[in-house]
Structure 1
């Protein structure tokens, strides 16, 4: 029982160091233990502590993502949205489509990890810290991967 209490303290410290409140921390830890229990029904877990650490980080990342995507929108915000441009020249449309295909091809050239980090940051809007927490790496590692992707894609797009 003491080992479990020590583990819970470690998980709390980890989540508090990542800016989670006590309530968020307790909920994430409870969910991680529940997932471990469910997982153990069908499979053997060789490293339960590692499983819990990874799971608690994933639970928090899922919660952050869920909250950041779904927020109420006011009628004023909807009315302020710009209307679609109807006067784009056909040449501009074709050029834009070609550049988009080129960007997709460049993204395919990135390693899966670099591509995932880049897309999480630039497309999904996650911060470096959120990505680091989600992937279990340092913020510095995320910053380097984003910079690597941006540099590569800029050079790639210049060539096409």
Structure 2
């Protein structure tokens, strides 16, 4: 039996019991690699403890600390699985148990980017007042009256600018 009055170096007890700890963790985790990782985590915890702190049963303390670390790791993995499953359910569509990718095919995505580049170029080529009216109304979502106030022109002028912009853009983009 260990004398509680004598200071015990928990790190030396850890080194002595390390192989037993790894076997203990491996039996519960089903993986020697995970057990080794856990033993390393335990070493870091033990090394951070105050060596002058009296310990009545160092072996029991090591196994308890290791069990707590193992439970923390298992809980974290469980939370990760639940979180990842929830994300997959919201981001993916399943048909008949198979995931269906919602992303467009690469050729459609490329065509969309090219069409957007054409639209941007066509917008830049519009006369400045026509482009400004179009942007305020169609892109910024202002009404004709709000666009007219922002530009200091009449509502009918805004309507003419927007109509002209649409005709020009449709002609350029087909």
TM-score (norm 2): 0.42
Q: Taking structure 1 as the reference length, what is the TM-score of the superposition?
A: 0.45
* Structure with more contact order per residue of length (Cα contacts < 8 Å, sep ≥ 6): 1
Larger radius of gyration: 2
